[in-house]
Amino acid sequence: MLIELTVNGRDVAVDAPPDITLLDLLRDYLNLTGTKEGCAVGECGACAVIMDGRLVNSCMVLAPQADGCAITTIEGVRAPDGGPNDLQQNFIEYGAVQCGICIPGMIMAGEALLMRNPLPTREEIRMGLAGNLCRCTGYQQIVDAIEATAKGRQKG
Amino acid sequence: MPMFDYVRAKSVAEAVELLADTQCVSRPLAGGTDVLVQVRHTPPTFQRLVDVSRIPEMKIIERQGDEICVGAAVTYTEIIESALLRETATCLVEASRLVGGPAIANAGTLGGNVANGAACADGVPPLVCLDALAHVRNSAGARAVPVADLLSGPHETMLQRGDLITHFTFPVMPDGARSTFIKLGRRNAQAISRLNVAAAGALSSEGRVIFARVVPGSALPRLRRFVEVENMLIGERPSEALFETAGAEASRAMVAVTGRRWSTEYKEIALQGLVARALRQVFTVEN
Ligand SMILES: Cc1cc2nc3c(=O)[nH]c(=O)nc-3n(C[C@H](O)[C@H](O)[C@H](O)COP(=O)(O)OP(=O)(O)OC[C@H]3O[C@@H](n4cnc5c(N)ncnc54)[C@H](O)[C@@H]3O)c2cc1C
């Protein structure tokens, strides 16, 4: 079936089977492989993307459910010059990245949180990341990076 | 060949018609957070998913006279963000805050939670605590069923093929009533309930209990109000001793049904504590 959606600001129309997930659509039909498959059952958040302004696990969304929606993936998060944005830069600076597999989902969860809550407490940041698993960093540095970004954006 | 087909319904009438199609076994799809896990593990028993997640009639949250109406396709995030529900259904809002992480809360719906029929479903004890009715439609007509009567056992509901829950309604609680929800999981966030409790209550002007609801979840094979606990609260003055006694009575009532099992040693103490804590939250008057 024909699925029409906006991905990272670009309108796309994809002919895909009705029983695949949004994750498969992004990775296998649109070659956007920044979004990762971890558990494939909604537990780990590696596949998180922003759909119409809300964080979702793309492994839990059927591709045709995204028809007519605006999706932002990790490829759509960047500074105007195409390099890392402030949140991504802070992930690097605070040592929040080790093996990296969870990071696209972590960045999306961080951006989704800051969209709705520009100055979250550390507890609110933890709750914002509740659906994202990281097995290397111990989360502390990830929370630090998001906190620093919130403060940086506040200053403008 | 795809495992199943997909169609998006634009109205309740269209969804009911699609679900009634005898040529094509169809099931409702809302947030997909249960359905997509299931199809991952076992081949689907349906040929088509009918997406009901964007039907406007199923997305409403409003007060209609003395009743609150919540559409079945309302997500946990929408419940949390509703000022009306924060005021009239604190237990449902608190439960929604504790469902999954943000991505699950953004997708998962109340109707999907009830229809899925899991014993650990966090949305169900609050609905039963609020005395909610589930409004169910199929091609033969509409009916309203108390949520407690819709659930026949773990992962079993009274819903038939072709049934669609359109919305839930519940009466506005008496003046001054408060409600709460407490959950015990294996970690603080994104954990399924081992046990939970929805409770509500109100005091008379003399400070005596005139309204009480206690609904433990994951405690019994069939969820219900613990009327035996509610009755012992009515007419009493709230006190630590009363909360503890009520907690003990809740545990006794649970064990009377389940018998002593491997988990009883844990659940008995845990339920007692949860019920006492829930009642403390409901009945403790701030100065
Ligand atoms: C990682 C993860 C964490 C979770 N955490 C929790 C938790 O903490 N607490 C909790 O309670 N649950 C939890 N869940 C389970 C799930 O998110 C909830 O049960 C959710 O409410 C299901 O709603 P849905 O809209 O996604 O349902 P769907 O998956 O779309 O549907 C579930 C079932 O209900 C049927 N259905 C859906 N809508 C209707 C309707 N209107 N009428 C009739 N039938 C309908 C479907 O056909 C299907 O059988 C979790 C799930 C995941 C993957």
CA dihedral B269, B275, B277, B282 (to 10 degrees): 180
B142 and B202, same structural domain? Answer: no
What average pLDDT does this structure show over B229-256?
A: 97
Least confident of A101-110, A114-123, B206-215, B255-264: B255-264
pLDDT for position B286? 63
Whole-number percent of chain A with pLDDT over 70:
100
d(CA B138, CA A43): 33
> Looking at B51, B73, B88, which one is the last position of a domain?
B51
Q: Any idea what the CATH number is for the domain that residue B25 is in?
A: 3.30.43
| Residues 6 or more apart in contact with residue B91 via CB below 8 angstroms | B125, B126, B129, B130, B179, B180, B181, B198, B199, B200
- CA atoms B169, B171, B176, B178: torsion sign: negative
Helix, strand, or coil (residue B4): coil
| Domain covering A2-76: architecture | Roll (3.10)
The answer to whether A65 faces chain B, any CB pair under 8 Å, is yes
pLDDT for position A111? 98
The total of other beta-carbon atoms located within 10 Å of residue A90's CB is 23
CB within 8 Å: A42 and B29: no
pLDDT for position B185? 85
User: Is the pLDDT confidence value at B146 over 80?
Assistant: yes
Whole-number percent of chain B with pLDDT over 90:
87
Residue A65: CA atoms inside 13 Å, Cβ hemisphere, count? 30
CB within 8 Å: B102 and A131: yes
**Among candidates A43, A61, A130 on the partner chain, residue whose Cβ is nearest the Cβ of B32:** A61
How far away, in angstroms, is B115 Cα from ligand 1 center?
A: 8
DSSP string, B241-258: HHHHHHHHHHHHHHHHHH
Closest to B7 (Cα-Cα) out of B27, B37, B23: B27
B81 CA: distance to closest CA in chain A (Å): 11
Boundaries of every domain in chain A: 2-76, 86-155
CATH of A86-155, one of 1.10.10.10, 1.10.150.120, 1.10.1740.10, 1.10.150.530: 1.10.150.120
A61 CA: distance to closest CA in chain B (Å): 6
d(CA B227, CA B247): 13
* B227 touches B159 (CB < 8 A): no
| Phi, psi values for residue A51, rounded to 5° | -120, 120
Q: Any idea what the CATH number is for the domain that residue B197 is in?
A: 3.30.390.50
Residue B179 is inside which H or E element, if any? strand B178-184
Number of inter-chain CB pairs under 8 A, A vs B:
90
Complex ipTM value: 0.96
d(CA B145, CA A135): 45
Q: What pLDDT, in 10s, does the model give residues A17-29?
A: 999 999 999 999 9
- CA atoms A127, B101, A5, B167: torsion sign: negative
Q: What pLDDT, in 10s, does the model give residues B28-80?
A: 999 999 999 999 999 999 999 999 999 999 999 999 999 999 999 999 999 99
Note down the domain range covering B145: 56-171
DSSP string, A122-135: HHHHHHHTTT---S
Query: Band of the pLDDT at A32, cuts 50, 70, 90?
Result: very high
B147 and B124, same structural domain? Answer: yes
What average pLDDT does this structure show over A33-47?
A: 97
Helix, strand, or coil (residue A70): strand
The answer to whether B259 faces chain A, any CB pair under 8 Å, is no
CB proximity under 8 Å: A 28-47 to B: 40-43, 45
Token pair, residue B25, equals: 């076994």
A89 CA: distance to closest CA in chain B (Å): 24
Helix, strand, or coil (residue A56): strand
B71 and B34, same structural domain? Answer: no
B62 and B95, same structural domain? Answer: yes
Query: Band of the pLDDT at A41, cuts 50, 70, 90?
Result: very high
CB within 8 Å: A109 and B103: yes
- B111 Cβ below 6 A of ligand 1: yes
Atom of ligand 1 nearest to the CA of B115: 34
B84 and B182, same structural domain? Answer: no
Residue pointed to by tokens 């966090």: B122
Q: What pLDDT, in 10s, does the model give residues B166-210?
A: 999 999 999 999 999 999 987 777 788 889 999 999 999 999 999
pLDDT for position B287? 47
How far away, in angstroms, is B10 Cα from ligand 1 center?
A: 20
CA dihedral B4, B9, B12, B13 (to 10 degrees): -90
> Looking at B146, B171, B196, which one is the last position of a domain?
B171
What average pLDDT does this structure show over A113-123?
A: 97
* B24 touches B65 (CB < 8 A): no
B198 domain-assigned: yes
B287 domain-assigned: no
Q: What is the pTM of this model?
A: 0.97
- CA atoms B189, B105, B77, A71: torsion sign: positive
| Residues 6 or more apart in contact with residue B103 via CB below 8 angstroms | A42, A45, A48, A55, A56, A57, A60, A109, A131
B222 CA: distance to closest CA in chain A (Å): 27
**Domain tally, chain B:** 3
Closest to B116 (Cα-Cα) out of B174, B176, B159: B159
Closest to B46 (Cα-Cα) out of B71, B68, B29, B58: B29
B134 and B70, same structural domain? Answer: yes
The answer to whether A54 faces chain B, any CB pair under 8 Å, is yes
- Buried-state track B110-132, b at ≥16 Cβ within 10 A, e below 16: bbbbbbbbbbbbbbbbbbbbbbb
| Residues 6 or more apart in contact with residue B243 via CB below 8 angstroms | B275, B276, B277, B279, B280, B283
What average pLDDT is seen over chain B?
95
How is residue B22 annotated by DSSP? T
By CB neighbour count within 10 A (0-12 exposed, 13-18 middle, 19+ buried), where does B60 fall? middle
Name which residue sits closest to atom 25 of ligand 1, judged by CA. Answer: B31
Q: What pLDDT, in 10s, does the model give residues B111-129?
A: 999 999 998 899 999 999 9
By CB neighbour count within 10 A (0-12 exposed, 13-18 middle, 19+ buried), where does B255 fall? middle
Residue pointed to by tokens 């819709």: B150
Ligand 1 pocket test, pick from B53, B99, B122, B160 with the greatest ligand atom count within 8 Å of Cβ, gives: B99
Closest to B31 (Cα-Cα) out of B127, B133, B99, B126: B99
> Looking at B171, B204, B236, which one is the last position of a domain?
B171
